[in-house]
Amino acid sequence: MTWSILWSIFTKVIDICIVWLVFYYILKNIKNNIKMVLIFKGVVLILLFKLLSNLLNLYTVGIILEYVVQWGPLAIIVIFQPEIRSVLETIGRTQLLGRHKILTVDEREHVVFEIMKAVEYLKRNKIGALIVIEREVSLQEYIEPATKVYADLSDELLETIFFPNAPLHDGGVIIQGDRITCAGVVFKTSMDPSLNKRLGTRHRAALGIAEESDALALVVSEENGRLSIACDGTLNYNLTLDEFRMALIEELSPKAEIFYEADEVEGGDDSNE
């Protein structure tokens, strides 16, 4: 086998890998955007109808769908331009190798402990709060115009920031790793029509950031002290303190560690046998 053949095989493998990588990141970010999921489902449905019309020789339906397939991409770009831009921005903000260090078990426990102490206080006193934890997708777009804090995470600081009539009370807080990066953050609100009309701006902002990124958004209601968590484009409303704590722990736990622990358990079972 000559070098030219080896080089040709290598370039083809690289070509395929790049294409699959692009598709992976597009689909991954579409999954976190409700509107883009609906667009994707609509496109797939139209293509299935076109295939069915060809199989059944449905002439009139086939002609109509032919025009839809021909001009559909242009119509989608024009009509859904904000959603497409949002997905492209999300892809651009995604860091392939991660932005922050992976927290140790002790650091994660500290983060959960401090947040839960603050949340319990805020819930008990019915003080509204929006706490957003950055994960793989960068939130630099929201950090830039916000008030920088760059302080160690503590329940006292969170309680102070969200204290009624405090200057930064109405905005959100962004946590990176185990530090509070900024406060007074203004997030884009969700436009999901199925969202309960009684939910306020904090809940809509939490769902909005969860729709366009992989961030974890924690909400304390100012009206009734109810707790909610938004992640992966879904809002989990009116959680108990235990449900809130378990959801927080689960979302902050790296998936690799979960698999590792599972392997250890299986290995322990085998040894017991």
How high is the mean pLDDT in each 10-residue block of the chain (273 residues)? 80 87 71 66 81 82 80 74 64 49 81 96 95 89 91 95 91 93 93 82 92 92 93 91 94 62 46 37
Contact 168, 161 (CB under 8 A): yes
Which residues make Cβ contacts (< 8 Å) with residue 124, sequence separation at least 6? 225
Domain coordinates of the chain in residue numbers?
Answer: 3-93, 105-256
How many CB atoms within 10 Å of residue 71?
10
- Say which residue the tokens 């690289």 belong to: 14
Report the pLDDT value the prediction gives residue 190, as an integer from 0 to 100: 87
Q: Which CATH architecture has domain 105-256?
A: 3-Layer(aba) Sandwich (3.40)
Token pair listed for 142: 């929201």
Report the pLDDT value the prediction gives residue 5, as an integer from 0 to 100: 80
Report the pLDDT value the prediction gives residue 32, as an integer from 0 to 100: 57
Report the pLDDT value the prediction gives residue 248, as an integer from 0 to 100: 93
Contact 230, 209 (CB under 8 A): yes
Report the pLDDT value the prediction gives residue 253, as an integer from 0 to 100: 84
Report the pLDDT value the prediction gives residue 60, as an integer from 0 to 100: 83
Report the pLDDT value the prediction gives residue 105, as an integer from 0 to 100: 85
